[in-house]
Amino acid sequence: MQRGAKVIKSLEPAKSFLFFLEINSYNELFQKKRAGLLEFYVKKGLILRIITLKGLNTLIIMAKTKVNIFSGRASRYLAEKIATAYGQELGRVSISTFSDGEFQPSFEDTVRGNDLFLIQSTFPPVDNLFELLLMIDAAKRASAKRIIAVIPYFGFARQDRKDKPRVSIGAKLVTDLLTAAGVNRIVTMDLHSDQIQGFFNLPVDHLYASSLFVPHLQRLALPNLAMASPDTGGTKRAAAYAKFLNTELVICFKQRSRANQVDKMTVIGDVEGRDIVLVDDIIDTAGTICKAADMMMDQGANSVRALCTHPVFSGSAYEKIHNSSLTEVFVTDTIPQQETDKIKVISTATIFADVITRIHKYKSISSHFDFTTQV
């Protein structure tokens, strides 16, 4: 029995998932070994480590799984960069579109028993969200081991509460749809509201773009840097930057008469002679951020820049930015964006590729939840 135990423990460890094989006795274990079952798994590269637990009738086998990375049509530009950073080719997906506008995704690579990562931001149109739901359903029906939805930009996140009677909570509905479709885990970046994580009854890995923006700010070496929030809702985010960079904090207080239209704005804090950097998670119509920049320049700021994770840029946003007092706007590629003389794009591919690696290998990713983390 001891000899058999030594043979078992000599198997080399590696990275994998866990599954459990029940045994009733050591005799049964050695019978399986004599039958060649364990050696078969070893030769196939399936068994990486076997551990016997004293007093328990369970054999824990660590076995290899493969990673499949697929993308919806809306985020293929980013998924290709993530797959390259991860070190493998992007999986093949075909989308059949019918004459009435319906569509159906199909995986052209086997996914059975694998860790499946589906990359798709859910910015408008809503087809992007529904395409992701169909892909999750297809993966579940194809017997994928785990289905992880990588959603760089989580659409409908601004609908996180009832702010007036008889309205929906869109963010909660989206989380319910994803769960019902069969997703096992969510990876996303800079949710509009952190509390949306609580809408899910499954693991949510919420990453921050600060690990990308902070190094850029440090390289700029602005002499009189001050961080600013374009509204009171983003105060916590801007304060985190100010604390880490040891700078002053400025807050803009705005009043709206209706969505996407700012009526009044007031600056709280001293901006005279300072290089201001506005921080926001989303720029939509760019009305708020541009009005804040113009107001700060009028009050004596040296320069005004902006950091934004998700560049929605709807309506006349481009025109507003280029006609505003903003010197530069740094954005990420969670939503497809072209660089201009004012708009600079920073890729998130390395962060997502590293998180995919860590999830697959069952390693901690808590370092990516830390504001100071740099990739």
CATH no. for residue 282? Answer: 3.40.50.2020
**Are 77 and 32 part of one and the same domain?**
no
In this structure, the strands spanning 225-229 and 248-258 are parallel
**Are 178 and 309 part of one and the same domain?**
no
Structural domain ending residue among the three candidates 19, 36, 63 = 63
Structural domain ending residue among the three candidates 63, 97, 114 = 63
Please tell me whether the peptide bond between 215 and the residue prior to it is cis, using omega within 30 degrees of 0: no
**Are 8 and 24 part of one and the same domain?**
yes
- Classify residue 374: in a domain, yes or no: no
| CB 171 within 8 Å of CB 193 | yes
**Are 82 and 195 part of one and the same domain?**
yes
**Are 43 and 142 part of one and the same domain?**
no
State residue 292's pLDDT score: 92
**Are 247 and 260 part of one and the same domain?**
yes
State residue 337's pLDDT score: 92
Count the domains in the chain.
3
- Classify residue 101: in a domain, yes or no: yes
Q: Pick the closest to residue 203 from 18, 86, 352, 359 (CA basis).
A: 359
**Are 28 and 122 part of one and the same domain?**
no
Cα-trace Rg, the chain: 25
Tens-digit pLDDT profile for residues 265-324: 888 899 999 999 999 999 999 998 999 999 999 999 999 999 999 999 999 999 999 999
Q: Pick the closest to residue 275 from 243, 246, 244, 302 (CA basis).
A: 302
Tens-digit pLDDT profile for residues 42-80: 444 444 444 444 444 444 444 567 999 999 999 999 999
Active-site residue, 254 included: yes
Is the pLDDT at 13 greater than 90, yes or no? Answer: no
**Are 257 and 226 part of one and the same domain?**
yes
- Three-state SS across the chain? CHHHHHHHHCCCCCCCEEEEEECCCHHHHHHHHHCCHHHHHHHCCCEEEEEECCCCCEEEEEECCCEEEEECHHHHHHHHHHHHHHCCCCCCEEEEECCCCCEEEEECCCCECCEEEEECCCCCCCHHHHHHHHHHHHHHHCCECEEEEEECCCCCCCCCCCCCCCCCCHHHHHHHHHHHHCCCEEEEECCCCHHHHHHCCCCEEEECCHHHHHHHHHHHCCCCEEEEECCHHHHHHHHHHHHHHCCEEEEEEEEEEECCEEEEEEEECCCCCCEEEEEEEEECCCHHHHHHHHHHHHCCCCEEEEEEEEECCCCCHHHHHHHCCCCEEEEECCCCCCCCCCEEEECCHHHHHHHHHHHHCCCCCHHHHCCCCCC
Catalytic-role residue among 33, 66, 145, 254: 254
Local confidence band at 123 (pLDDT 50, 70, 90 cut-offs): very high
Q: Pick the closest to residue 230 from 126, 326, 333 (CA basis).
A: 326
Q: Which of 17-26, 61-70, 138-147 has the lowest mean pLDDT?
A: 17-26
Is the pLDDT at 359 greater than 90, yes or no? Answer: yes
**Are 334 and 263 part of one and the same domain?**
yes
**Are 202 and 290 part of one and the same domain?**
no
Domain range enclosing 82: 67-208+351-369
Structural domain ending residue among the three candidates 35, 63, 91 = 63
- Classify residue 220: in a domain, yes or no: yes
CB-count burial class (<10 Å; 0-12, 13-18, 19+) for 56: exposed
State residue 303's pLDDT score: 96
**Are 355 and 314 part of one and the same domain?**
no
State residue 232's pLDDT score: 86
Q: Which two tokens stand for residue 87?
A: 């070190």
Q: What angle (nearest 5°) sits at the alpha carbon of residue 336, between those of residues 255 and 215?
A: 75
**Are 312 and 302 part of one and the same domain?**
yes
- Classify residue 375: in a domain, yes or no: no
Q: Which two tokens stand for residue 210?
A: 């600060």
